[in-house]
Chains A and B, each alone.
Chain A
Amino acid sequence: MSRNLWFSAFVTAMLVSPFSVFAQEELRVVEPFQLQRLDTQTGGFQLRANGVTETLVQTNPEAAVLPALAERWETSADGLKWTFFLRPNVTFHDGTAMTPEAVAASFKALLPTGNLIKNAKVKDVSAGDGTVTFTLEQPFAPFLAYLLDPAVPVLAPSSFASSGELTAIVATGPYRIEKAELPQGLDLVRHDSYWGDVAKIERVRVDGIPNPETRVNIALAGEGDLVLEIPTTAVSRIDRSGETHIVRAPVPRVVMMLVNVKKPQFADVEIRRALSFAVDRQAIARTIMGNEDLAANQYFPPAMKGWHFEDFKPQTLNVAEANRILDELGWKPGADGIREKDGTRFAGMMRTFPQRAYLPVIAEALQAQLKAIGFDLSIQVGESSLIPEAQNDGTLELGLGIRTMIYQVPDPVARLTSDFATDEPSTDATGATGWKSEEMRAAVAAYNLTTDPEARLPLQREMAEILQNELPVIPITFTDEKYAVSERLEGFVADPVMQTRPLNHLSFKD
């Protein structure tokens, strides 16, 4: 027996020797996403969130656009030319200076890859004396917000091969990539000649860990300094552990029921209202999301100023009203308690996905709640791509999905466009199915031409109102982001808008 043990110990020692040496003073960030490719289209969001890439502008937690690599900007009278005055003395991670030519070349190379910024229809980018000028095909008021599309950061010429292909990420942020182990994680090291606040911590390790319980265990064991997307169920355990504490931030994200309005049982808006009346949002928010205030009585959460309206008639629980509507419309309960009309059963299959652990649980709660109005809900949990597939071929009945309203671009209109005002096929588990509204499209188009924030407000209200009245999707609950922050870390502030981690402002306590 002892020989066996010695032998296995020997082999163990032999096998584990190639492991890299672990540096104790590393900042350990744990996030749920795994980076598949080191390019800006795939990993743009993570690269920006971890302080590697930047662009001409940035936002503050109130979603106001502030200077970054550009110090200031101006627009031509016709709204077609946007000129940005570049910050002097900015150096790329390779030590070269950021010149207007480099910036213009970077945009020219990356603009075609930006999913969102393509809506701005940029015709040309040109370099001037310390400036970069964008020429648009038509006026586009929310251009600054779209410029924050993370697929289009400012990269150094050395990022591109001579063929123009992106081969490396050489950017301007407070951290540069030292080593990428895809898809597991990134090793970052401080960019010492950063133009802003130089980072206090020299090295950062970012790990992508999709399984939420594994992230919780890491937080509980004190193995992560900043652990993202902690599930509600683990909050009290982590707070009690003494190793880490929880920081909550309201992220503008809604959990919603997707409804195919082409299906006979959902075609009438009154039916969708009845379904909405049957949902006990307070109970779902309290029991599943851990916070009753997250109940979603309209599409936009209260934190979204100018989009959330206190005077909207809230969508709340009213089973009696729901039953009255359905009785009036002629949906009669059958022998099994499920309603029917003209041979159509009042039923539907709800597709959802397990990557956000709360989604299947909410689906289960909805199933029980909708039963009270004679609706038979069945559930199917699978890959999230099953939802857009079913949306495109028209087989989707119901879905349960999420939408982060200002994900990647700090203007909700970007996602409203792709979710509610487009003829393109669906690619996300979000948005309307079979629903089309000319008013919505007109409002989006008008908004894109309106620069004055005051003049935009009525358009914003109109868009929110259309969603509230026509219910192409039925909002259920909002979510908040929960970070587990280790006790040795100082200076963490959650950014609900861009969901970046200001890593350069973090430090270790002595």
Chain B
Amino acid sequence: MAAVDQRLLWTIGAATAVTIVTIAVIIGRDPLHQDLAVALAPPSMLFPLGTDHLGRDVFARLFHALPRSIGIATSAMAAAVTIGTLVGLAAAVSNRLVDAAMMRLTDLALAFPGLLLAMVLAGLMGGGMLPVLVGIALGQWPQFARMTRSVAAAAMTEAHVEASRLAGLAGWRILLRQVMPRVLIHTASLAALGVGGAVLTISSLGFLGLGLQPPTPEWGAMITELLPYMDVAPVQIAAPCVALFVTVLTCMIAGRRLAEAI
């Protein structure tokens, strides 16, 4: 377990270092600057990954997209975790009827596909960050609710929790001190996986033309925009694909490592 933790630390450290270095490199590069005269230029010293169909620096766009995608994914996940944990805890401490009702509600939410919801919100509201965020959060909270409920329910039957209750500790204190930490450990690994999934959803929305608004750099949208130029700009299209893959893979591995660590 210690070895796993150490590897996890290494991964996080390496990711941070890479992020800092790239931020240092791309400072001063404008991802929005266009020069139609150099559209679809091949990689060069000036443009390490070439330019896109509007003559913008693919390298700059690629790395400006990273913090944005991760930021939205993380915020959406934070919202999903908050809603999910609250619903799950409430269900765990409620009587059977309320518990059953809340879990049916959760099942219901599970049945409704999150990507579809985000798409429709984006289509009807006119795109942008908010519908993407809301759609992902609404699609993801049920799994946190289910997990929280089962972990919390299990924890509450355990001997020391019973003991605290008998000792007269207030219900919410028990929740906060003895149930929450355990819920949060499980949440962390699920959330890391969820961030990866959310990055995929953001890119899928971008691919369908319903994600972040242009000219905001976003990998899925970059792939769609450059797809028609696959044969003349292979580097430009490969770059966002690789970036997307590596980012999501990192989240997935981190999530798995966390799960193993528990």
Contact = CB atoms under 8 A, between A and B. Distances in A.
A237 B231 contact: yes
Interface in B85-130: 122-128
B210 interface: yes
Contact of A365 (B36, B37, B122, B225): B36
B53 interface: yes
Given A380-B128, A382-B123, A382-B127, A364 B214 contact: yes
A365 B126 contact: no
Given A360-B214, A361-B54, A380-B126, A354 B209 contact: yes
Given A360-B209, A368-B32, A382 B126 contact: yes
Interface string A349-362: 00100100000110
B124 A287 contact: no
B213 interface: yes
Interface string A370-402: 000000001111110010000000000000000
B215 interface: yes
Given A233-B228, A287-B53, A363 B214 contact: yes
A368 B34 contact: yes
A383 B128 CA distance: 13
Contacts of A284: 36
A86 B143 CA distance: 70
B15 interface: no
A361 B122 contact: no
Contacts of A216: 228
Contact of B122 (A234, A288, A363, A382): A382
A383 B124 contact: yes
Contact of B225 (A287, A361, A368): A361
Given A213-B228, A361-B54, A381-B214, A351 B126 contact: yes
Interface residues of A, number: 28
Contacts of A365: 34, 36, 54
Contacts of A360: 209, 214
A386 B210 CA distance: 14
Contacts of A404: none
A126 interface: no
Interface in B170-222: 209-210, 213-215
Nearest to B226: A233
A291 to B, nearest CB: 14
15 contacts: A231-B228, A233-B228, A283-B36, A360-B214, A361-B53, A363-B214, A365-B34, A368-B32, A368-B54, A379-B214, A380-B213, A381-B126, A381-B210, A382-B124, A382-B125
Given A361-B54, A386-B126, 14 more contacts: A280-B36, A283-B37, A286-B36, A287-B54, A364-B54, A365-B36, A367-B215, A379-B213, A379-B214, A379-B215, A381-B127, A381-B213, A383-B123, A383-B126
Interface of B: 32-34, 36-37, 39, 53-55, 122-128, 209-210, 213-215, 225, 227-229, 231
Interface of A: 213, 216, 231, 233-234, 237, 280, 283-284, 286-288, 351, 354, 360-361, 363-365, 367-368, 378-383, 386
